[in-house]
Chains A and B, each alone.
Chain A
Amino acid sequence: MLLELQEVSKAYGSIQALRDVSLAADRNEIVALLGPNGAGKTTAIEIALGLRSPDGGRATIFGGSPRSTAVRRRIGVTPQESGFPDMLRVGEILAFVAAHYPRPMALHDALADFGLDELAKRRAGALSGGESRRVALALAFVGNPELVVLDEPTTGLDVESRRRLWRTLRRFGQDRCVIFTTHYLEEAEANATRVVVLDRGRTLFDGEPEALRGRVGRRSVSYVGANGRVAVRPEDADEYVRTLVRSGNDFSDLEVTRPSLEEAFLTLTGASE
């Protein structure tokens, strides 16, 4: 395992941020940590990175302490908020971070991957919010690490930047590992190979995006019949369609839809109450 949380708990005063959360991520995986605000995603990431100490449980990366320099040389992190020293230029910040790693990316490639070519000489204080976010993301990759951890990577990004990010991420994820947090279901569904759902400090689900939808199960069937559109959610959609066809009744525009991740999520969180 590249990254592992074992039954990690964490409380801030009377607020239980995490309860016995376990999480593991391995090579070739892109793991989405999905949950609403306050679910414990950032705390989980911070504990995994050694920025916070858990009250109980264990966090390891490459089998070692996330605080050791040797381990950190193999991980790239993006800051959740991006506040860079105002007077440093984008190129200088990237070169500075790259200098910490044994085999960093070429500066030129890192700039290109995040659409920063034109901004290399721009001072951090003069960046827009979106530009600043792109710099923050580039910092996670510039060291060419084996594991990349991104906290809410798409917050503040425009559509084009998002696309570029997911492209970079998929290419990067081969033979390596990416973990990102998000509260957008579509992002997790479209880009992760595995989704971990957190809600109020608990793991509600851990598996492939497909399986997450399977948990809610029922697909809905809709078609236009003699009396107009019919929309149902039968227990067994396949059996329902077979019966419909056998009945010989006329119908058109048949649709069988799987539950959206959103519905799956609502069912999961609802179940925890």
Chain B
Amino acid sequence: MNDLALLRAHTRVAFLDLVRWPGYVVPTLLFPAMFYVLFDLPFARRHAGIADVTTLSFMAFAVVGVALYQFGVGIAQERGRPWERFLRTLPAPAGVRFGARIATAMIFGILTAGFVAIVARMLTPIDLSWSQWALVAVYTLCGGVPFVLMGITLGYWASPRAAVPLATACNLLLAYGGGLWMPPDDLPGFVAKISPYLPTRQFGDLLWSVTGYAHAAPAIAGLAVYAAIFALAAAIGYRRDEHRRYS
């Protein structure tokens, strides 16, 4: 019974339970691509440079959404359920359960962001080389980490009812403020001032750096700080919940 086989079994179960809810799959996969078509397609069609940057923005938006919902809402709603309690009695380390959640989120994150990329490839003159796409893939996954941790934090601190509106608010406000929906230069004054400090902006910068539109190093540093903060907040939230539930 090695842990890898268990990880696969847990991931399969978590994935199947999600993928069979059309109400989860359809909006998750479609919304970022749909927003992309509605908001940015008219501009992106005209110019390869714009297409590159806006596509990457919406890929980041897609990953942030999956991370906040999968972890934030998912954990908040499931942590009190009998099934979760039962899983604890099974011979599997806690790491396997967490790993399965991360793997499932990665699958959905890749699918959702990939869908944006496919739409962009079909409808815009986007011009990225294969090596650039490869870098985009790596950055998308790594840049998603602080948002996964933010989602876990939300999942353990928010009540099941509050999780959905909170995740939505975080997702939309951060996407807007981070300049993922419109170029950061066009943001109104106040928002433009705080934008560089938001994790979504740093995620955007990281992806945009692939086309030379921003610098990667400060973005990575900023994301690392956020990752550390949310790792701590998530760990405290997890302990707190464990203590309340299982002591």
What is A's interface to B at a CB cutoff of 8 Å? 49, 51-53, 69-73, 75, 77, 79-88, 92-93, 96-97, 99-102, 123, 139
Contacts and interface: CB of A to CB of B under 8 A. Distances in A.
B4 to A, nearest CB: 12
Nearest to B78: A85
A163 to B, nearest CB: 25
B161 interface: no
Given A69-B91, A87-B21, A99-B6, A77 B247 contact: no
Contacts of B13: 85, 88, 92-93, 96
Contacts of B85: 51, 79
Contact of A80 (B82, B83, B247): B82
B1 interface: yes
Interface of B: 1, 5-6, 9-10, 12-13, 16-18, 20-21, 81-83, 85-86, 88-93, 246-247
B86 A100 contact: no
A101 B5 CA distance: 11
Contact of A100 (B6, B17, B82, B246): B6
Contact of B16 (A72, A75, A82, A87): A87
Contacts of B88: 51
A24 B78 CA distance: 34
Nearest to B10: A96
B83 A79 contact: yes
B83 A72 contact: no
Contacts of A99: 1, 5-6, 9
Contact of A97 (B1, B5, B21, B90): B90
B1 A100 contact: yes
8 contacts: A52-B246, A52-B247, A69-B91, A73-B91, A79-B82, A84-B83, A99-B9, A101-B1
Contact of B93 (A52, A69, A97): A69
